[in-house]
Structure 1
Amino acid sequence: MTQTIYDFSVTDIQGNQVAMEQFRNKVLLIVNTASQCGFTPQYKALEALYRQYREQGLVILGFPCNQFGAQEQAAEQEIQSFCELNFGVTFPLFAKIEVNGQQAHPLYQYLKSRAKGVLGTEKIKWNFTKFLVDGQGKVVARFAPTTKPESLAPKIAALLKR
């Protein structure tokens, strides 16, 4: 049986299990994040996208990760406070995960297998790599950390109209 994104469950930043099934028929932007990264200001742009499109069905999912330059050493509660206080983040945040290696979260193993990076590699290169998933759960694109969230607005809008 073919796996879909809806077959996974994740742990939210409060420690609750969340079935990805609850995001069926939503457009998802899934991002591995970090609080001490040069790309951390993208939280503000991600939140702006979320506020612009959430009523139409966009959900941004933030997954803190400490695998790149140890830039997310804080505990979950600190991460949530940091994001809310500094960037006004209201989109869902999740427990810290690994995105590469043997301990990579199964959701990220799936995302990387469906949307490869530069030169066909699955490995995530850095914080704020973004995966865009359509309302049917299909991973439609992967974007580099350097891709500004606001530049994704036309792609998100197009998927929301489907």
Structure 2
Amino acid sequence: MATLQRLARPCRQILKNYARNRVPMNSCRMITTSGKNKDIASTGNESLVEKSQELKDLEEHFGDANPERLKNWVPYGWHLSDRENDTFNMNLVNFAMFTITIVFGAVYIAYEPDTRLREWSAREAFLELDRREKAGLPLVDPYLIPPEQIELPSEEEIGDTEIII
């Protein structure tokens, strides 16, 4: 509880500063976004103002919205002057990147070879157990290494070393 009280002190101070510095709502003006003609200031003689050549060119350029015209074509970045080549290359690259990568990647992951030999070692263990059962041998041989081949250190070499079995 004391931790919450310690955390509440700076929060109260921040809220006081916010309340002191905020703008009151009654001093804000409301802005309308309606497109009513009566809201637009007009002199009434716009036709008398001559349009510049740049404005005429812009009106002509943006007035034509036909997507088949070359001036309205935005290239994908593969070919800057040939529209068909640009579209074909974009489709080919997207097909290769997404479709082929995802499909072949999923197939590889699903049928990945046993690189760590986990399945092979389990199969070999089952085959060895089956062989030992058929031969009448114990499943785990207590003498995996024959005792004659094991060389133990002498009592003098061991000394006072504690041996835990």
Q: TM-score range by the shorter chain?
A: under 0.3
More helix by proportion, 1 or 2?
2
Question: Between Structure 1 and Structure 2, whose CA radius of gyration is higher?
Answer: 2
Structure number with greater CO (CA < 8 Å, separation at least 6) is 1
TM-score by length of 1: 0.17
TM-score by length of 2: 0.16
